[in-house]
Structure 1
Amino acid sequence: MTEISREYAPALLLEMIPEAAEHIAELYEMPAEEAVKTEHPTVDTFDLLGDALARPIIVPELREQTPDADLLRRCFDYTELLLASPSLLLREAAYFQILEALLGENVPYAKAFPYMRSRTRQRALRMLDGYGIDRPEGVDS
């Protein structure tokens, strides 16, 4: 995996998770390909990750009896890139909009751990510890 820049993050989201296209288009009221262009001034990273990835894709997929493993793997690969970014904004957006979304009511957050890479897993475990929430059974650092 390579480092991701703040400017390229929206386009990479669409590239890695094309399932987000309809949510991006709805959020920005324009075609997703247009909204994620680096020069587009209205794309907010926090809104993008929360409203086009975490809430409409990751959370519902985790609620499925049999989640789409490929989709969740791609979502958490993207999250890993964000958490490894030199950009504090991207790291914070990933934490607050993606990882904290796992703590929502009726979200089986334990189902997310098999799809997480090491940085994401470590950050998620620190989040659970910080909130005093039990770690999923069998999940260690």
Structure 2
Amino acid sequence: MEKIEFASIVQVYLRTVPHAADILREVPEAHRSNFEAWPDKETDLFDFLSMAFVRPILLPKLRDEPVDRELDACFEFIEGLAKSSNGYVDNALYFEVYEQFLESREILLKALQFCRPVTRRALLEMLTEHYPGTLEKMGLDPRAEM
């Protein structure tokens, strides 16, 4: 996926992520109106990722067994965001997406399996810098993984 421009985040989400429109309709009105008017209304990308993507879509799909192939589309969306050179987007990904993969070993391994190159590199850098014990426990070598 190409880099997602900040102004088109919600539109790309709706176009790329399976069932995104249904999930967005379930978001409480105050937030939903702002998300739908993105970027014209002031809204928080951290809230958007958490409320409309990670909690209702991404984490449940990462928990599912057998593997839900719709994860491919979710990780395409993440990759497009990860290609952004916007520091705000990078921070939102770090706290609202990558850190959520630490919920369990299984989720982290599945996330690494589906990560695209830019996302994988960012996730492994986060683990190396801030969670080296997790890497060690899981027996992951970030140099080999990148």
Name the TM tier (shorter chain). 0.7 to 0.9
Alignment partner, residue 120 of structure 1: 119
Q: SS in structure 1 opposite 2:120?
A: helix
Following superposition, which runs of at least 4 residues in structure 1 exceed 4 angstroms of deviation? 135-139
| 1:16-36 per-position Cα deviation (integer Å, ceiling 9, x unaligned) | 114122332232427x69843
TM-score for both structures, normalised by structure 1: 0.83
Q: Give the aligned partner of residue 145 of structure 2.
A: 140
Q: SS at 1:68's partner residue?
A: coil
SS in 1 for 2:50: helix
CA distance in 2 between counterparts of 1:79 and 1:116 reads: 8
Between Structure 1 and Structure 2, which shows a larger proportion of helix residues?
2
- Deviation of residue 58 (structure 1)? 1.2
- The equivalent residue for 2:7 is 7
Unmatched runs of 5 consecutive residues or more in structure 2: none
Structure-1 separation of matches of 2:105 and 2:117? 25
- Once the two structures are superposed, residues 51-83 of structure 1 have per-residue CA deviations (whole angstroms, 9 ceiling, x without a partner) of 1111111111111111212x1111111111111
Indicate the residue corresponding to 2:100 in structure 1.
Answer: 101
- Matched residue pairs, number? 140
Structure 1 spans left out of the alignment, 5+ residues: none
**How does the TM-score come out when normalised to structure 2?**
0.80
